[in-house]
Amino acid sequence: MTSNWIETIVGAAVLVVAGWFLIFAYDRTEGGMGGGYELSARFNRVSGLTIGSDVRLSGIKVGAVKSQKIDPETYQAIVTFSVTKEVELPEDSGAAITSEGLLGGNYLALIPGGSDEMLADGDEISETQDAVDLMGLIGKFMYSGDDKKASGSENKPS
């Protein structure tokens, strides 16, 4: 008989922990943001930006990336993202794909403009800055010295 009580208590504890986890996950994701409006932006490179990535303004999360697709005519990536309704952005605002650090993921940073007109649901941000290819930059830096050695310019007297 005591075995049934122990199983019941352990089962209840598991349900409480699972419920806490669901509340925690809801609060940390877009579900806890309370809706908002959608905007889009076009980029030449969106490396590292994924669906669900943060959209931040002044370092504070104000939305999330909803979708990514390719424009078949321009071959640019179209990123659709949400912004919480409490944040109104001027129509001349910009968007940049930024890295959290060397080992961190990428997020979409919003840069507010100075216009009196505000962006509305479905509008597109035209001022964008693509993701930086960090590995490409490191490769260029590492192998830039090899070009000088191959041409012999490094050992020529002045």
Whole-number pLDDT of residue 97: 94
Residues 6 or more apart in contact with residue 35 via CB below 8 angstroms: 84, 85
Residue 148, pLDDT above cutoff 60: no
| Domain locations in the chain as residue ranges | 1-33, 35-141
- The predicted-structure confidence for 52-103, as pLDDT tens digits, reads as follows 999 999 999 999 999 999 999 999 999 999 999 999 999 999 999 998 877 7
pLDDT at 78: 97
Query: For residue 134, what pLDDT band results from cuts at 50, 70 and 90?
Result: confident
Q: Distance (Å, rounded) from C-alpha 39 to C-alpha 28? A: 21
pTM for this predicted structure: 0.67
Listed in order, strand segments (DSSP E) in the chain are 37-43, 54-57, 60-70, 77-83, 94-99, 106-111, 124-125, 127-129
Characterize the bridge pairing of strands 77-83 and 54-57. Answer: unpaired
